Structure formats: structure tokens, C-alpha cells
Amino acid sequence: MIPPPKNVKQDARAPSTTELPLDQNLGRITNSVGIPVVNEINPLTVGPHGPILLQDAYLIDKLSHFDRERIPERVVHAKGGGAHGYFEVTKDVSHLTCADFLSAVGKRTPMFARFSTVAKEMGSADTVRNPRGFALKFYTQEGNFDMVGNNTPVFFERNPSAFKDLIAVQKRDPRTHLPSPNMFWDYFTLRPVSFHQLLMQFSNRGTPDGFRHMHGYSSHTYKLINRNGQVHYVKWHFRTNQGVKNLSAKRAEELAGTEPDYAIQDLFNAIERKEYPSWTLYFQVLTEKEALNYKYDVLDVTKVISQKDFPLQEVGRFVLDRNPENYFAEVEQAAFAPSHLVPGIAPSADRMLQGRLFSYADTHMHRLGPNHAQLPINSPINPINTTIRDGPLIMGANGGRNPPYYPNSYGGPHPDPSVREYENGCNVEGTVGRYEYELCERDFEQPRALFKLLVASEQQDLISNLAEDVAMTHEYIQRRVVGVLERIDATFAKRVQEALVKS
């Protein structure tokens, strides 16, 4: 149901399965191809105590589908919740981008949001210490635009080849099949550039109070292109209008035991109460010259761009006002990919973003199949006119009799050279090689600033959270953790060391 049918009033409160009217009649039950079923409970047998017959087609239909009703779990962002809503432009940004859905103040675009934990599995608790995924799908008139971000403005790594490894150490030990602090801290102490993200994760920010009370970020730097082909580098910030709230480590642990689906339930119930959560979108905007000359590499996702240097500029806001009717169809099958970019928005050369352009779209090919974009939750609102055909689970006419190739002599479809896919003068040149990001003092400046920005109680929570986790590792790994922290702040490292001694 994407988007809601025009001129059809939506129920303010969609009932759950157990709240449907008791007197309604949904008609007779059928099998998967619409044939009416004579008996739902009793199989076809030879006498009351005899064997079941293979010709019981409905039993076979039901069991064979049951055997296949689970699709592969997401490798990242496995568990989450989502909701429908709309995005509305509140400030003019037409000088920055020709993206149609950002073209005029007051313009509304239907959307779907999915929030999740990042590295944990489907059965994990919503309150575990982990980054949160912040994925948004905008159903624009020029196709679907996906913003696939997190609730932190930075990430662990800046090279996509490390993506698999940083996720692997947050999964389970290959022998014990248990979470392993040794794997976790062994890897990250050998990759100290990750400590900017880790300080956020082990602060109270690592356990947000549900999905409604956290900010969202593109993390990566993107490009915006206007109608004249001019480019600006932009960070996207989605700031919660509910206020930021985090959970203490103790409270997060309690909820993991008593309410493991806390965040999903909180989002669903708020929308049912018509307390519609919203977020305001801001841009941080840099010209090409400003981006080139900035003191930090704007293409390095382990770094932030200071809001003192480049203040936030309001763009619009999104509101979530409708819960899914079916979790599997709408939340579990939702497929987000950073490569889904509409004209006027383009990727930067951020290495991690470049890797994600492939990886996210590819994982949906594996998880949902090559035609996953035709599922209702992923289908655009504008017509699809493509020569891409066939494959499993085609929905619709599959292009009908129109030619599945280009060029052809039968009227197209044809490319549109006016589409702003990249900026004017987009020239790239250089010598092919494997260029290393060398760890340097600059990589510790922002983690240091972050620690000093925390108030005393927040610093103590960070130290306690770190020490509690690191204490479960081998002594040589503990020494490495303290060694990295010394490069950030000597007093910070000393306090963690003292906490480790006491643990």
C-alpha cells in the first residue's frame, strides 16, 4: 500500500490482528491459488487411523510454503521497526539541487522509514549497545530516493574492504557461538581510527531511548547538483523533534530482559496514539573550494564537519503518521540502497560510500531476489519504463510486448540527456594504485574534542561502559585499549585504566 490511495480516508488507528471486529465475515478460505478449502484442520487419510494421502494438495501447499516462509536475515540492520509518513519542504533549496522533491516550499513526498540496530541479529534486544540504522525511502516523482544513514554522524571505518571485518567482530565467535569482547577489541585496537565511533557507541548515545528520540545522519558527504550543473558538498542531518533521550546502561540492560522489543513497540504505540514523531532535515553545505580546503577530509566518514564552521541550514521535515498493516510485507521486505539517487543528488568519492553503493543493492538481490523493486513497499510511484526483464517473481506485465532492448525501432523507451546525474566539469584523473589512509594525530583530534564536550556525568558513564566491556578481554588487549585512549586524552586513559584495575 505505497502510497495510500488518493481520496481514501486512512484509519487514524489501524487495529492489530487481535483487535479486528469479532463479527466480520472474511469469506471462505482458499489455498494459495484461490481454490476453496473444504477442511482446514483434518488431512485426507485412509480411514480415521490410516496414512495421509499425497493427493492432499492443500496440506502439501500449506506445509511447503511454511518450509519457505523465512527469507535470509539481513547481515546488517537485521532487527528494526518502521512506519509510513511524508516529507515536506519548509525552506527553499532550489539553488542547491534540481531534485524534484526538494523543488518548492510546501511540497510533500510520501515516504517510509525503517530504524534498526546495525550489527545485531533478528532475535536481539532493541536496547543493546550498538549504532542504530536510520533508513528513509522517499517516493518521488523521479523515482525512489533512499537515504541510508545511522544515528551517529561518523562510522567505524573509511575503507569499504573493512566493512565485512568490522561487522564480523560484532557477531558471534566461530567456535563458541557467543559474542566475543576479545574479537571486538582485538580488531578495533588494531584500527584506532574507529575510536571516534566507539566513543559515541560507549557513551549513553549508544543506547538511545527507542527510535523516536534519536537524530539521524547521512554520515557520508553527498553532492547536490543544481539546474546549472553547479555542485555543493552536503551532509544531511535529521534532528528529532521529540528531544534526544538515551538510556543508562543499567536501564538498557533491564529493558533487554523485560521488553526486548522496546523500541519497535514505542514507535508503533506512539503512532497509534496519534503522537506522530517527526524529524527536521538540515544540510551542512560546502562549495567545492571549501570542501577541498577544509581542515579535515570531507570524504572521510570517520570525521565530522564542525557546525561552527558550516552551520546547519533547514530544509524540511518528515512526519511518521501511519503504521504498517503487515510487518513482513512492509518492514522486513523494505530494501534500501545508497545507490538509489534521484537527479540532483549524487554520491561523493567517499570510499565507504562508494563500496556501499554496490553492497546494499547487491544484498537485496540475494535476500529478496532480482525483482525486489517491484514489491509494493519498494515500488516507485512514477511509471517504471525499463528494458530490464524476467527473473523470479515478476509482478505485472513484465513490459508486455514492448522490445526488451535498446535501441529499437518501435518508439523507445529512450534516455533523457537532460537528467543531472553529475556536475559540470566532473573530471577525475590520477594514477591507479592502492592508496592508504595513514593514521595520524589528526585522527585523534575529534575523539578528544568529543570526550571534552561531555559533561562530568557523561564522561563517567562512558568510562564505566568502556571498562565493563574491556574488562572481559585478555590483558594484552586491555593494554592496547588504554594505549589508544592515551593518544586521545591522557586523563581519560588513566581513568579507564583505574576502572579496569577495580573491575
Q: Where are the beta strands (DSSP E) in 288-385?
A: 313-322, 345-347
Look up residue 246 and give its amino acid.
N
The grid cell for 206 is 549508544
- Exposure string for 42-73, b = 16+ CB within 10 A, e = fewer: eeeeeeeeeeeeeebebbeebeeeeeeeeeee
Angle at 363 between CA 359 and CA 364, to 5 degrees: 125
The region that residue 262 occupies, defined by phi over 0 for left and psi between -120 and 50 for alpha, beta otherwise, is alpha
Let me know if 414 is a catalytic residue: no
Alpha carbons 75 and 187: distance in angstroms, whole number:
19
Of 77, 215, 237, 340, which one is the catalytic site residue?
A: 77
Report long-range pairs for 64-70 (Cβ below 8 Å, ≥24 apart): 65/32
Look up residue 267 and give its amino acid.
L
Alpha carbons 135 and 148: distance in angstroms, whole number:
4
Count each helix (H run) and each strand (E run) in the chain, helices first: 13, 10
Of 144, 150, 151, 378, which one is the catalytic site residue?
A: 150
Bridge partners of 322?
Answer: 84
Is 466 within 8 Å of 185 (Cβ atoms)?
no
| H or E element, residue 329 | none
Look up residue 229 and give its amino acid.
G
The values of phi and psi at residue 88, to 5°, are -130, 130
Let me know if 150 is a catalytic residue: yes
The region that residue 490 occupies, defined by phi over 0 for left and psi between -120 and 50 for alpha, beta otherwise, is alpha
Cβ neighbourhood burial of 265 (10 Å; 0-12, 13-18, 19+): middle
- Exposure string for 187-222, b = 16+ CB within 10 A, e = fewer: bbbebbbbbbbbbbbbbbbbbbbbbbbbbbbbbbbb
Alpha carbons 375 and 86: distance in angstroms, whole number:
20
HEC per residue, 348-370: CCCHHHHHHHHHHHHHHHHHCCC
Is 98 within 8 Å of 225 (Cβ atoms)?
yes
Bridge partners of 117?
Answer: 132
Cis upstream peptide for 72 (omega within 30°):
no
HEC per residue, 249-274: HHHHHHHHHHCCCHHHHHHHHHHHCC
| H or E element, residue 40 | none
Active-site positions? 77, 150
